[in-house]
Chain A
Amino acid sequence: MGSGEQSAVTTLFPDQLETDRLRLDVVDPASTDAFEHYEAFADDPDPETVYEYVPVSEPATPDESRAFVENAGSNRDDADAVTYAIYPTGDEPMAGTLAGTTTLFVEWDREAASSAIVLRKPFWGRGYSGERAGALLELAFGRLDLAHFGVSCVAGNDRSKRAIEKYVEAHGGRYDGRLRHAHAIDGEPVDLHWFSISRSEYRAATDDAD
């Protein structure tokens, strides 16, 4: 595929999303520098904390970053998921630095989406997760016309839970419950907190906000 061409599938998911303070750039081999990903995420001073409750590990080599980027590209081609690199913009501290990555997963036959985020520690506490979620929700419910959004975090990840609670509530959704032993990470069972937003809840919440 030459430059300037885009398949119909890749235009399902835009190349870029923008919020007040963030730029989300799609991750795929054509758009992303694997070395930038590697340099941002490798040798994290506090890897336990960044990745503690996320089933992703820091890239041990540039090749792992390359594999991450390729995988994101192939998921985008299959329309299964789209991954964005998150950059603060404007006057934000460390604007233009790769702050994290986020993925929107889509199950078309269920008309449902879910999301995940990995945010580096220097960028915590700024509300970036909620802001990025707003952009993904608009993509899911607005552009992609999906019916349902679900999201979870591992029990114990209080930071994540608080961030999710805030944006789910802001978008009309609800807490579904703590599901015990609903997942396993590195062979150990974990509990998940589940949240969901329906299309009608999203519309009611965002129409009111206009």
Chain B
Amino acid sequence: MTDLFPDTIRTDRLRLDVVTPETVDLFEFYDHAGTDPDIEEITRYLTWEPHETPKATLEFVEHVGEQYGSGEGATYVIRPRDGEDGAGEFAGVAGFDVDWDRKTMTLGTWLRKPFWGRGYSGERAAAMMQLAFDCLDLDMVAVTAHVDNEKSNRAIERYVTAHGGRKEGTLRNWDTFGDELVDVVRYTVSSDEWVANRDDAVAEFDGF
């Protein structure tokens, strides 16, 4: 196996499948990233705009497929496992970039509205930290969120604190979201902090 990142990740309640041109169901992805009835609300505080056509989805899928192939990052479709409400459905997307020089993985995620409030984001983040620290020998996991995205910031603060990490500060004029420059909040968890606060939940990684 020559991939740096798994093609499947399993947690207690979730299954994540890597997005590449070969593995994705393009029109299913477009349905949710483009025409989901709540997509404006979902993307309100995210760096990307809803996909206007399947071509936008194709370009996205090709881009994340290239990142996966070159070991720069990976993007996954999140589906609840059997026993969960909505098992097998497209619940959202989880992704990360890795900067090998900085030994840092940066996380990103979004979930469809019916799957909000279940703690899926924290569960997904825990799996990514295990991947970063146990498998990839990285030093740091970082997350940023738009300063006005209250829901996201609450969720991130919860899981970052649970893993021994910290909120670093608010960075002004930092990122471009659509056309605008926005302030973001940055959080990090270090490898030592994660090890000291390691919990029992263990994610499984396949295909690398």
Contacts and interface: CB of A to CB of B under 8 A. Distances in A.
A176 interface: yes
B140 interface: yes
Interface in A87-138: 110, 112
Interface string A184-197: 10010100001010
B169 A147 contact: no
B188 A180 contact: yes
Contacts of B104: 181, 189
B101 interface: yes
Interface in A128-153: 147-148, 150
Contacts of A161: none
A182 B101 CA distance: 10
Contact of A184 (B101, B176, B186, B188): B101
B173 A182 contact: no
Nearest to B190: A180
A189 B168 contact: no
B126 interface: no
A79 B173 CA distance: 20
A150 B103 CA distance: 24
B172 interface: yes
Nearest to A112: B173
A184 B99 CA distance: 10
Nearest to B181: A110
Given A110-B181, A181-B139, A181-B140, A176 B102 contact: no
A179 B168 contact: yes
A183 interface: yes
Interface in B87-121: 99, 101-104
B142 interface: yes
B102 A147 contact: no
Given A110-B181, A184-B101, A177 B186 contact: yes
A210 to B, nearest CB: 25
A182 B190 CA distance: 13
Given A177-B186, A181-B139, A189 B172 contact: no
Contacts of A32: none
A187 B99 CA distance: 11
A35 to B, nearest CB: 34
A175 to B, nearest CB: 8
A112 to B, nearest CB: 6
Contact of B102 (A112, A148, A184, A196): A184
B171 interface: yes
Nearest to A147: B173
A205 B171 CA distance: 21
21 contacts: A110-B176, A147-B173, A148-B172, A150-B172, A150-B173, A175-B169, A177-B170, A177-B171, A177-B186, A179-B169, A179-B186, A180-B168, A181-B102, A183-B102, A184-B99, A184-B102, A187-B101, A189-B104, A189-B140, A194-B171, A196-B172
Given A110-B181, A148-B173, 18 more contacts: A110-B176, A150-B173, A176-B170, A176-B172, A177-B168, A177-B169, A178-B168, A179-B171, A179-B186, A180-B168, A181-B102, A181-B103, A183-B102, A184-B102, A189-B104, A189-B139, A198-B172, A198-B173
